[in-house]
Amino acid sequence: MIISRSIEEIREVVANWRLEGCDIGLVPTMGYFHDGHLELMRTSVHRADKTVVSLFVNPTQFGPGEDLDVYPRDFDGDCAKARQVGVDAMFCPGPQEIYQSGYKTEVSVASLAAGLCGVDRPGHFTGVATVVTKLFNIVLPDYAFFGDKDFQQLRIIQQLTQDLNFAISIVGVPIVREDDGLAMSSRNAYLSESERQEVLVLYKALQLIRQRVFESKGTIDTDDLIKTAAALFDKNNSCSLEYLSIVDEQSLQGLSKVWGRCRALGAIRVNQRIRLIDNMALYR
Amino acid sequence: MIISRSIEEIREVVANWRLEGCDIGLVPTMGYFHDGHLELMRTSVHRADKTVVSLFVNPTQFGPGEDLDVYPRDFDGDCAKARQVGVDAMFCPGPQEIYQSGYKTEVSVASLAAGLCGVDRPGHFTGVATVVTKLFNIVLPDYAFFGDKDFQQLRIIQQLTQDLNFAISIVGVPIVREDDGLAMSSRNAYLSESERQEVLVLYKALQLIRQRVFESKGTIDTDDLIKTAAALFDKNNSCSLEYLSIVDEQSLQGLSKVWGRCRALGAIRVNQRIRLIDNMALYR
């Protein structure tokens, strides 16, 4: 597996693969790999001739007071895991390689970024959209793989790819969960043992919503559903609900009735310190 | 010369040229070609193996009340001129080809777009930066050619190209002027005969600034220079000065002294109807 820290070098690696007739898959990550990341990589290895994993903890997608400085890192462990699933190259630039002095440009998909996680994290999705645009231009992949767990991010990237005419297929990969249902996340590493149990409430709330939708025969008001699911949080002290919404998958706009391809999304804050998200499709 | 109206088609044309080992020059235009456009094309034909000229009157870079609806067009004349200077393909999409329904993404270089023409045309440079990003992704050129006349636009495109990691050389091409000094512009077609004479005041103001700078031996206050040059406008009724500034070429920030690579830029409005711009470098 090639490990490259410079833009020039990874470009040359990819250009040579292209000359050999290979197509390229890109898996953008911030490292500290769990099975969710590995599933993205396996999907890419299966789909594309060559897989590039980028590992870059992108400062511009963290807000003031967020966890940029303590974001978990394990470079050697990450390289070993990526190698094991068959990744061909890791692109691991430092911040100066990505943001040269005088950096000024922003890519934004404002109408998809305003709600849901965008309320608590203003600027976050502009940071994501901009760095992904840069990674797309650096690697010029045929496919790029993103987890369904960050569903709002996935939609924003699908939209910018279409809007900016990138010739890239964006592939959403299903959420990988722990045995008890917790969505895998690098931020789960922050949880104490008791918090680890309590955060399951978000998964349970989403499951309750899905169960009610699947059992129902008529149309269902989303207000009632959300009220019922949000009530699960009352008994739970360490986790506060940041939002719980049922939205149209395309527009990310809230729905008054469950209809079509819609999805429940939620975010919680654990003891004010840790922010976790999860979501579930409400159709089969 | 190939004339293509669809993204898919121009992509295929360019991909085939690439397979033949050609490099590609792109000249983005809004049509109604004058010798300034043709100079961009000649420069590209000279530099690159194949030249693509895009012709697209981009609605998102026009503000409310601006001249989108009356912007001059001459498709057949434009094709004949492009063919004559050796252009290989014209890409002439309609608005629906470029902005599909549900379009949401914006590219902005806010700090370079705020001043100068950005004051009178809020949103203009976001429209420009976004459509140029799209054209870059559609054509994937090795070079792209822009006129020095739209100097703020040139700087914004240089900046976004660097910031978003496009592997494209941006080439600025010197202003082409009429015999009496008027910078060529498609919008000159709007001028009456008497207006055509009066608009020369902007060129004369810039020339006066340059002359003073070149004649001077010490450092010069820009305030004094601009006051002297702006005084040329007092006797002139049909042209009002929108701005006249001396800025650093890199940052586009105003300077208190003439120093380094700096440039005088100006915009006038003719009988409130027509907006014209021009600029001059203040170094040799």
In chain B the domains, ranked by start, together with CATH numbers, are 2-173 (3.40.50.620), 186-281 (3.30.1300.10)
Tell me what percent of the residues of chain B surpass a pLDDT of 70: 100
Q: Give me the pLDDT at residue A96, please.
A: 97
Say which residue the tokens 């980028």 belong to.
A54
Please determine, for residue A41, whether its predicted confidence score (pLDDT) is greater than 90.
yes
- CB proximity under 8 Å: B 164-183 to A: 164-167
pLDDT, tens digit, for every residue of A159-188?
999 999 999 999 999 999 999 999 999 999
Per-residue tokens: B8: 């898919």
Chain-chain contact of A103 with B7 (C-beta, under 8 angstroms): no
Please determine, for residue B266, whether its predicted confidence score (pLDDT) is greater than 90.
yes
Whether residue B162 lies within 8 A of chain A, CB to CB, comes out as: yes
Give residue A218's pLDDT band: very low, low, confident or very high (50, 70, 90): confident
Strand bridging mode A89-91 / B89-91 = unpaired
Mean pLDDT of chain A: 96
CA atoms within 13 A on the CB side of A68: 14
Please determine, for residue B158, whether its predicted confidence score (pLDDT) is greater than 90.
yes
Please determine, for residue B5, whether its predicted confidence score (pLDDT) is greater than 70.
yes
Please determine, for residue A280, whether its predicted confidence score (pLDDT) is greater than 90.
yes
Please determine, for residue B47, whether its predicted confidence score (pLDDT) is greater than 70.
yes
Q: Give me the pLDDT at residue B234, please.
A: 77
Chain-chain contact of B133 with A164 (C-beta, under 8 angstroms): yes
Chain-chain contact of A133 with B166 (C-beta, under 8 angstroms): no
Average pLDDT over residues B98-122: 97
Please determine, for residue B36, whether its predicted confidence score (pLDDT) is greater than 80.
yes
| CB A208, CB A189: distance < 8 Å | no
Average pLDDT over residues B182-196: 96
**Torsion, CA B36, CA B31, CA B13, CA B148, rounded to 10:** 30
Please determine, for residue A2, whether its predicted confidence score (pLDDT) is greater than 90.
yes
Say which residue the tokens 């609605």 belong to.
B59
Q: Give me the pLDDT at residue A55, please.
A: 98
Residue A37 catalytic?
A: yes
Whether residue A163 lies within 8 A of chain B, CB to CB, comes out as: yes
Average pLDDT over residues B50-73: 96
Q: Give me the pLDDT at residue A223, please.
A: 97
Look at residues B117, B67, B62 and name the one whose alpha carbon lies nearest to residue B273: B67
Residue A96: which residues within 8 A CB-CB, separation 6 or more?
Answer: none
Look at residues A234, A235, A51 and name the one whose alpha carbon lies nearest to residue A141: A51
Compute the distance between CA of residue B192 and CA of residue B199 in angstroms, rounded to an integer: 10
Question: Bridge partners of A89?
Answer: A2, A52
CA atoms within 13 A on the CB side of B2: 19
Cβ-based contacts of B7 with chain A (< 8 Å)? 165
Per-residue three-class SS string for chain A: CEEECCHHHHHHHHHHHHHCCCCEEEEEECCCCCHHHHHHHHHHHHHCCEEEEEECCCHHHCCCCCCCCCCCCCHHHHHHHHHHCCCCEEECCCHHHHCCCCCCCEEECHHHHCCCHHHHCCCHHHHHHHHHHHHHHHHCCCEEEEECCCHHHHHHHHHHHHHCCCCCEEEEECCCECCCCCECCHHHHHCCHHHHHHCHHHHHHHHHHHHHHHHCCCCCEHHHHHHHHHHHHCCCCCEEEEEEEEEECCCCCECCECCCCEEEEEEEEECCCEEEEEEEECCC
pLDDT, tens digit, for every residue of B208-262?
999 999 999 888 999 999 999 999 997 767 999 999 999 999 999 999 999 999 9
Q: Give me the pLDDT at residue A236, please.
A: 66
Q: What is the pTM of this model?
A: 0.96
Look at residues B226, B169, B213 and name the one whose alpha carbon lies nearest to residue B26: B169
Q: Which of these is catalytic: B34, B37, B46, B124?
A: B37
Compute the distance between CA of residue B84 and CA of residue B78 in angstroms, rounded to an integer: 10
Tell me what percent of the residues of chain A surpass a pLDDT of 90: 96
Q: Give me the pLDDT at residue A11, please.
A: 98
Whether residue A138 lies within 8 A of chain B, CB to CB, comes out as: yes
Give burial (CB, 10 Å; 0-12/13-18/19+) of B231: exposed
* Residues found in chain B: 284
Chain-chain contact of A108 with B103 (C-beta, under 8 angstroms): no
Average pLDDT over residues B137-142: 98
| CB B276, CB B267: distance < 8 Å | yes
Whether residue B221 lies within 8 A of chain A, CB to CB, comes out as: no
Question: Bridge partners of A51?
Answer: A25
Strand ranges in B5-148 using DSSP code E only, listed in sequence order: 24-29, 50-55, 89-91, 106-108, 143-147
- Name the DSSP class of B255: -
- Other beta carbons less than 10 A from residue A64's beta carbon: 6
Strand bridging mode B143-147 / B169-173 = parallel
Mean pLDDT of chain B: 96
- Name the DSSP class of B63: P
Per-residue tokens: B42: 């000649």
SS3 state of residue B212: helix
Per-residue three-class SS string for B162-197: HHCCCCCEEEEECCCECCCCCECCHHHHHCCHHHHH
Q: Give me the pLDDT at residue B236, please.
A: 66
Per-residue tokens: B162: 């660097």
Whether residue A114 lies within 8 A of chain B, CB to CB, comes out as: no
